[in-house]
Structure formats: structure tokens, C-alpha cells
Amino acid sequence: MFERTEDQQAVVEMVRDFAATALAPHAAEWDETKHFPVDVLAEAGTLGMGGIYVGETYGGSGLSRTDAVLIFEELAKADPSIAAYISIHNMVAWMVDAFGNETQRAAWLPGLTSMTELGSYCLTEPGAGSDAAALATRAVRDGDEYVINGTKQFISGAGTSTWYVVMARTAETGSHGITAIVVPDGTPGLSFGAEEKKMGWRAQPTRQVVFEDVRVPVSNRLGEEGDGFMIAMKGLNGGRINIGACSLGGAQTAFEKSVAYLKERHAFGAALVKQQHLLFELADMDTELETARTLLMRAADALEHGAPDTVKLCAMAKRVATDTGFRVANQALQLHGGYGYLSEYGLEKIVRDLRVHQILEGSNEIMRLIVGRLALED
Amino acid sequence: MKIVVLIKQVPDTYEERTLDLTTGWLNRDAGDNIVDEINERALEVALQQKDKDKSTEVVVLAMGPDGAAKAIRKALSMGADSGIHVKDDSLAGSDAIRTAAVLAAALKDVGADIILAGNESTDGRGGVVPAMVAEFLSLPLLGALSVAEFSAGTVSGERRSEEGTLRVSSALPAVVTVTENIAEARFPNFKGILTAKRKPVSTVSVGELEVASTPARSMVVSTSERPVRAAGTKVVDEGTAGTQLAAYLIENRLV
């Protein structure tokens, strides 16, 4: 599990080369100009990054969840914002692959896996975040169609995506009354809010998705009526691991920048690494990153093999990796002193990008709620 | 059409490259070894031809130690169909003529329409091996092309020089080399990486080739490390800086 196979080494090498040439040189500019590089995403798609753990029949790469951790960490080393978007897109593609029928998979997966068509995950609402089962967007059956009304909040890729996987209420039975429906872009009644101004993740658009009498065929439903919440949560198990890997990647870069800086920067007559308390700080950062990486791989392995403690491990790994990632990135900024606060040094962007990872894909408070409740069950 | 691309594993140019001062040879363990960047572009030219015409067969040929298998694997993951690995301890340190003779012998029965290579590799930069291979095989050489086009039975392209651009063409089979100005090499995709190990690679030793067994090695007489960069000359302007600068340039034959 911890020794990388020859294939994994080759995969990591390729992703590193791609990220170093196609992402890293532009990351600061995309952040500053809020540019969403759909052309680069399509390039990532040709390399197999649109459906990393989607089956090969309709263009997926058929890789494992542990492979995905390695891939997202490498992408995030160059740009956490783009890496995280690719993670969300993969969650959508996987949901279609895992829960779609043959016709749906044949129709939707080729575009998703090649990333010529992007996907958005629509669960959160203005009034339902952590309490996702309380969502109010409604889908009412009318003959062979669903009529959808409601608003989704904080939707990554909204306005750019071709496919929106929407969790909508079809019955008043709490989490059992939610259904997953795929809504194509351009459907009458589908509109988007203004682009949100955000602390980080500026290279990907975040907007509201608004449904006003949006009609889609019943054949756009993933799974059965009432399966939606289960589908959304299963998608999030992987989403949590991937976002954790994105935190690791960003923080790893911040850590490596810090090592280089403390070796080079002289104060009080010696390189800063000669100050033992700073050396200890580097040691803690490195150790915490490795601890998070280890737990993340353990959770990914559990998810890959359908282990009974998958949900718990994914929640634990998400919390540890995203908290660690932010702490390490923030500490790296501190170690750079005033320079860390300047955009030019690239650290403040990592801090801004990684901050939201503690909030989304289930906030870290919800992760503790999941772990705590499971502890009580035993 | 069958294209054989000559590839060489070299130390990554992004890292510090050093000589082993006792043997005088390149220190190959000092850093990552990768497929030579110009060779990779040659492979890209071949793969683009394969993209256009699916019947094109792309074979990669490498001579080198065990580690060169990794370079072949990378080429296969990018889309080459098969590989030939000439591997023999007796070949260590072979000079350009010996290398070309062995490569030519390995190419003899492959039936290549085009033998494609980079015009030089980033390690030794001798830039002579492809021409020597052409000579050994009595094939025409179209060297240092920045544009290469293939059609049934012919290859044509452009070679740029300080005086102008030459348009060259030749009947096939031929040896073609391309410069670093040609196509940017593609990344292998995940599928390519996973299928690479299922593609055939034949390993050939010198004994299996029809080539003289006399080893020819370049003898390194002496080596020295690159001198540490000295501080430059500073001219402080006290009214005569222009004259001093001109004198410096003339003295060092810089004008």
C-alpha cells in the first residue's frame, strides 16, 4: 500500500510534468484574473484526468482511489484551485459511472471523461449546508418529466458546466425523499447567480444555480427516487479524500518553499535553519504532512476495497489532511516573514486556496460529528 | 509505414550534470535519467504520423544499460508500438562509431522505412551517430530538420541555417534527424502508461548482432571540473569609463 508501484511512479511523473508546465506557470495569473482555464482542463482530459477512477468502457482511466490521491497531490502542488476543481469534476463523473444506467453512461461519460464537457455537483442550498438532508429544492413528477424548482449555493463550475447533478426533494421523507437528477446546461428555466467573490479558489467560478420550472425527462434520474442522498454521500467519500490530497499538495509546496527559504535566508549571523526552533518547526510540518498522507492513503485503500469503516476513515482523513494542510501552509507563510504576505512569493495564495478545504465536502465539524456518532454506535 | 525512432536515456538537463573524474565518463547516477528531450520530439513526429495514418508502426530502439528499459517504457506509454533494447555490458563507454555500428546492425533486419532521431542528444552532443548509422546502412540522411513530412515512399522537410532554409527530400528508406525546434513532445496519458508494460520489448545482446566484436571506446585523457565562476570586471565611471569599456572589449576580442 505504501510502496509505489512502477505504474504509480510513471503516473506521478506524468502528472508532475503536466502540472509543472500547464498549471504552475499560470497559477498566479489565473488567481489574479479569476480565469477558469477550460482549455487546460480539456488537455488534462486527454491525459485521462476527467475520469480517473471511472471504468474504461466510456473513456475513464480505471485507476484506483489511492492512485487518485497521488494524482491530486501532484496537481495541487502546482495549483490547489484547479486540482480541487478537477476533484469535483471527477466526483460527478464517478457518480454517473457508479449509479447511471447503460444509456446514461454511454450518453454522458465520454464528454465528462475527456473533460470537453464539465460537471457540477449541486447539493448545498442557501438554507441547507451541513444539514444537507434538509434541502428544499423540489422535483415534482409531471408525466415523463420532473419539474425542478429551487436554488443551489456555492456551486463550483456553475455557468460553465455542461451537466449539473442535482439533489432534489421528491418526497417529504427527510434524507430518504431526495433524488439525484442530471440537468443539462441550456435547459429552459436554468440560470446562474453572479460570480461569487472569494478568499481563494479564484481560478474556478462559484455561483448559485437557480431552477425555475426546469423540466427534464425522468430518464435523467440517477438510480431510483429516494436514492439521491445515498448517492450524494457516496460521492463525497471520495470527494473528501481527494480534497484532502489537494490540501496535502498545496501544503507540500509551501513546506518545500520554506525549507529552501530558511536555508538561504541569513539573520543573526547564520542561516535561519541554524535556529533550532525553526528547524523543529520544519520537522513538525514534515511529520504532520506525512501523518496526513498516511491516513489519506489508508482511507483511500478502504474506499477502494469497500471496507466497512470507509465512511469513518474518509471523514477522519478529510479532517486531518485539510486541517494539517492549512496549518502547514499558514506556518510556511509565517516562516517567510513579510515576504510570505506578498503575492509574489506564492504562499498567501496557497493559504487562501486551502482555507476552504476545511469548510467544503462536509465541514470539518461535520467530519467530527460523523466520527463521534460512529464511535457511540460501537 | 514503419518508423524506428532512436532514443537515448540521458541525465535530466534540469539537474546539475557531473563527470566521474576517475573514469572521465558522465556520472549517470547523479540525478534522474530521462528520455533525451530531442529524441522525444523525434518520437512525437513519428506519433503524429501514426495519428494521421493508423497503419503506421512506431518502434523505438535504445542502446544502454538496464535503466534504459525505463526510457523505452516511457516511449511506449507515449504511444510507440514496440521496443528494441540493445543491452550488453561490453558496450559501456562505446564511442560514436561503435554505437552507430551496433545500432545499424540492430536496425538491419527491422525493415524500417524511416529511421528517425534527434539531431543530437543533450548529454554528449556529438551529433554524429545518426549520420554514421545512415552510412553503415548505405541510406540517405536528411539531417537537422525543423519540419518533416512523410508521404508514400518519400520524406521531405526543412532545414534552417544562418543563410536560409533548405527544402530537402528523399526517397525511402532514409535516416531523418530533427532539431529541438520541431513538435513539442506529448505527455503519455494514464491509459498509455498502463498499457505500456503489455507492449513487446525485445532485448538484444551484441552476440546476436552481425557486428564486429572489437570494442571501440573513447578514451578520456583528462578531465577537470568547471572553474568556479569568478567575479566580473567592474568599471567605475570617473570620466573614462567609455574608454575603459572599449579597451576591455577590444582586449578580449569581443568586438
Look at residue B232 in the predicted model and tell me its pLDDT: 82
Locate A73 and state its grid cell: 497531490
Cβ separation A10–B187 shorter than 8 A:
no
| pLDDT interval class at B234 (50, 70, 90) | confident
Q: Phi first, then psi: what are they for A38, rounded to 5°?
A: -65, -30
For CATH 1.10.540.10, the residue range(s) in chain A are 6-118
- Identify which has the larger pLDDT, A202 or B228: A202
Per-residue pLDDT of chain A (378 residues; tens, 9 = 90+): 678 999 999 999 999 999 999 999 999 999 999 999 999 999 999 999 999 999 999 999 999 999 999 999 999 999 999 999 999 999 999 999 999 999 999 999 999 999 999 999 999 999 999 998 999 999 999 999 999 999 999 999 999 999 999 999 999 999 999 999 999 999 999 999 999 999 999 999 999 999 999 999 999 999 999 999 999 999 999 999 999 999 999 999 999 999 999 999 999 999 999 999 999 999 999 999 999 999 999 999 999 999 999 999 999 999 999 999 999 999 999 999 999 999 999 999 999 999 999 999 999 999 999 999 999 997
> Residue B241's Cα: distance from chain center in Å?
46
User: What is the maximum span of chain B, computed from C-alpha positions, in angstroms?
Assistant: 74
Asked if A78 has any chain B CB less than 8 Å from its own CB, the reply is no
Mutate to test the interface with A, among B40, B66, B193 (most CBs of A within 10 A): B193
**CA-wise closest residue to B68 among B239, B172, B201:** B201
A361 is a catalytic site residue: yes
Cβ separation A48–B191 shorter than 8 A:
yes
User: Which residues of chain B are within 8 Å of residue A5 when distances are taken between CB atoms?
Assistant: none
Name residues whose C-beta falls within 8 Å of residue A198's C-beta, 6 or more positions apart in sequence.
A206, A356
Q: Does domain A120-225 have CATH number 3.40.640.10?
A: no
User: Which residues of chain B are within 8 Å of residue A56 when distances are taken between CB atoms?
Assistant: 191
Find the mean pLDDT for residues B161-173: 93
The Cα–Cα gap between A9 and B181 comes to 29
Look at residue B213 in the predicted model and tell me its pLDDT: 75
Please check whether residue B120 is in contact with residue B178, taking contact to mean a CB–CB distance below 8 angstroms: no
Q: What angle do CA A198, A199, A204 make, to 5 degrees?
A: 50
Task: Please report, for residues A58, A193, A235, the alpha-carbon distance to residue A53 in angstroms, rounded to integers and kept in the order given.
Answer: 12, 31, 12
Q: Shortest Cα distance from A55 to chain B (angstroms)?
A: 11
The Cα–Cα gap between A143 and A234 comes to 29
The Cα–Cα gap between B165 and B84 comes to 35
**CA-wise closest residue to A356 among A367, A368, A364, A348:** A364
Cβ separation B188–A49 shorter than 8 A:
no
**Nearest CB to A17; choose among B73, B187, B190:** B187
How many separate domains does chain B show?
1
DSSP assignment of A173-207: SGGGGEEEEEEETT-TTEEE-PPPP-SS-TTS-EE
CATH number of the domain that residue B198 is part of = 3.40.50.620
The Cα–Cα gap between A24 and A11 comes to 18
Tell the CATH superfamily of the A6-118 domain. Answer: Acyl-CoA dehydrogenase/oxidase, N-terminal domain (1.10.540.10)
For B75, nearest residue in chain A (alpha carbons):
A10
The Cα–Cα gap between A334 and A286 comes to 16
The class level of CATH for A229-377 reads: mainly alpha
Look at residue A348 in the predicted model and tell me its pLDDT: 98
User: Which residues of chain A are within 8 Å of residue B72 when distances are taken between CB atoms?
Assistant: none
Look at residue A1 in the predicted model and tell me its pLDDT: 63
Q: Identify residue B115 by its one-letter amino acid code.
A: I
Q: Beta B201-204 vs B82-86: how paired, if at all?
A: parallel
9-68 of A, contacting B, C-beta below 8 A: 10-11, 14, 17-18, 46-49, 52, 56, 61-63
Tell me the β-bridge partners of B10: B34
Q: Spot the catalytic one: A74, A281, A361, A377.
A: A361
Please give the residue range of the domain that contains residue B178.
2-208
Instruction: Please count the residue pairs, one from chain A and one from chain B, whose beta carbons lie less than 8 angstroms apart.
Output: 38
Of these ranges, A147-156, B66-75, B143-152, the one predicted with the greatest mean pLDDT is A147-156
- Identify which has the larger pLDDT, A347 or B13: A347
Find the mean pLDDT for residues B227-249: 87
**Nearest CB to A61; choose among B73, B191, B197:** B191
Residues on B contacting A at a C-beta cutoff of 8 Å: 73-74, 77, 187-191, 193-194, 196-197
**CA-wise closest residue to B204 among B82, B31, B51, B38:** B82
Q: Identify residue A336 by its one-letter amino acid code.
A: H
Please check whether residue B134 is in contact with residue B140, taking contact to mean a CB–CB distance below 8 angstroms: yes
Look at residue B25 in the predicted model and tell me its pLDDT: 75
For B191, nearest residue in chain A (alpha carbons):
A61
Indicate the SS3 state at residue A367.
Answer: helix
- Identify which has the larger pLDDT, A368 or B161: A368
Look at residue A126 in the predicted model and tell me its pLDDT: 95
- Please report whether residue B34 resides in a domain: yes
The Cα–Cα gap between A212 and A217 comes to 15
User: Which residues of chain B are within 8 Å of residue A52 when distances are taken between CB atoms?
Assistant: 190
Cβ separation A63–B190 shorter than 8 A:
yes
pLDDT tens, position by position, B184-197:
999 999 999 999 99
**CA-wise closest residue to A92 among A123, A126, A66:** A123
Look at residue B220 in the predicted model and tell me its pLDDT: 79
Cβ separation B190–A52 shorter than 8 A:
yes
- Please report whether residue B242 resides in a domain: no
Q: Identify residue A378 by its one-letter amino acid code.
A: D
Helices and strands of chain B, counted as H and E runs: 6, 12
Q: What angle do CA A235, A240, A241 make, to 5 degrees?
A: 105
- Please report whether residue B233 resides in a domain: no
Name residues whose C-beta falls within 8 Å of residue A117's C-beta, 6 or more positions apart in sequence.
A108, A111, A161, A162, A163
Residue with cell 469534476: A89
